[in-house]
């Protein structure tokens, strides 16, 4: 199932039209998919900023046109010469802010169209390396006989674990592709706390029991507290007066702590809302 497929089913379940997700999962992958409902869709950008954590299974000794098991797999060289120490020694080279070439078969858009559509038509596309952040990588296990390696990856927005698998295989000289992928966390959201889509659907009208707090992506932010009159004005789209705080991103709350808005304050103290949540 695609991530949009999940969104479609949640729309049908909840009856809410405004539903989105917080980070695409390839159909061959599983794991944590944040779903944003109603006013929470105004926080999608912030959920995308959360780091993502994966458990990735790599198959050494071959490459794939899609960099994963869904593509055409071509054997390269016997991976039995690769040992655990060789893999561990290379992993630090992929940590930090690196340049990464995305897979040709990906949802990344070029000229307003996803790359995978161009690839399916046989078009030649010059892929350009993009800056991404790999926060950490660790080897969890390696079976030298089968060439299967399991790694733990934490990365920032826009990073492709498929590309990471492909590039690691190239550095090892034997080729590699992503055989399986599970997203184990998105920011504070852990796989152990995730709800199966089937469980959600079976709950019927009780689906709301699994809703998380709207302000979850902003809880570590500095807050500006306004009184009832200012809260009402803000909900009607009226600007806030200059704020005596440093420039930066802020959440706006009322005197009870309820989230009213989030946005950016400039050097002159003016607040530009990026998302407003009327009562």
Tell me the domains of the chain and their CATH numbers. 51-186 (3.30.2350.10), 221-276 (2.30.130.10)
In the chain, how long is the greatest CA-to-CA distance?
71
**In which band, very low, low, confident or very high, does the pLDDT at 235 lie, cut at 50, 70 and 90?**
confident
Instruction: Based on the residue annotation, tell me whether 26 is a catalytic residue of this protein.
Output: yes
pLDDT at 17: 95
What DSSP string runs through 101-162?
A: PPPSSSS-EETTEEHHHHHHTT-------EEEEEEEEEEEEEETTTTEEEEEEEE-TT--HH
Q: How far apart are CA 135 and CA 164, in angstroms?
A: 13
Q: Tell me the whole-structure pTM to 2 decimals.
A: 0.90
* pLDDT tens-digit readout, 111-160: 666 666 665 666 666 677 899 999 999 999 999 999 999 999 999 999 99
> Rounded to whole angstroms, what are the CA distances from 138 to 54, 164, 168?
11, 13, 13
| Res. 215: pLDDT tops 80 | yes
Phi, psi of 177 (to 5 degrees): -140, 165
> Rounded to whole angstroms, what are the CA distances from 99 to 10, 84, 96, 130, 270?
36, 25, 10, 5, 36
**In which band, very low, low, confident or very high, does the pLDDT at 278 lie, cut at 50, 70 and 90?**
confident
* pLDDT tens-digit readout, 45-79: 999 999 999 999 999 999 998 899 988 999 999 99
Pick the catalytic residue: 26, 68, 167, 215? 26
């Amino acid at each position: 199932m695609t991530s949009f497929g999940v969104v479609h089913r949640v729309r049908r379940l909840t009856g809410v039209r405004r539903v989105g997700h917080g980070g695409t999962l390839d159909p061959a992958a599983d794991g944590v998919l944040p779903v944003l409902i109603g006013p929470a869709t105004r926080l999608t950008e912030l959920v995308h900023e959360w780091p993502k954590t994966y458990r990735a299974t790599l198959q050494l000794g071959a490459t794939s046109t899609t960099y994963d098991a869904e593509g055409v797999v071509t054997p390269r060289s016997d991976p039995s010469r690769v040992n655990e120490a060789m893999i561990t020694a290379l992993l630090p080279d992929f940590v930090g802010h690196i340049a990464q070439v995305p897979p040709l078969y990906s949802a990344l858009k070029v000229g307003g169209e996803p790359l995978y559509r161009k690839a399916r038509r046989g078009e030649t596309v010059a892929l350009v390396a993009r800056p991404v952040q790999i926060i950490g990588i660790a080897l969890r296990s390696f079976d030298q006989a089968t060439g299967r390696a399991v790694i733990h990856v934490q990365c920032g927005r826009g990073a492709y674990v498929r590309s990471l698998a492909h590039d690691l295989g190239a550095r090892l000289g034997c080729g590699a592709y992503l055989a399986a992928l599970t997203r184990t966390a998105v920011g504070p959201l852990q796989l152990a706390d995730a709800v199966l889509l089937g469980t959600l659907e079976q709950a019927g009208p009780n689906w709301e029991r699994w809703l998380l707090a709207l302000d979850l992506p902003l809880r570590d932010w500095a807050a500006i507290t306004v009184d009832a009159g200012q809260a009402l004005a803000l909900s009607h789209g009226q600007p806030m007066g200059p704020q005596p705080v440093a420039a930066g991103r802020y959440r706006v709350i009322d005197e009870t702590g309820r989230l009213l808005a989030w946005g950016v304050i400039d050097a002159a103290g003016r607040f530009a809302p990026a998302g407003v949540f009327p009562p």
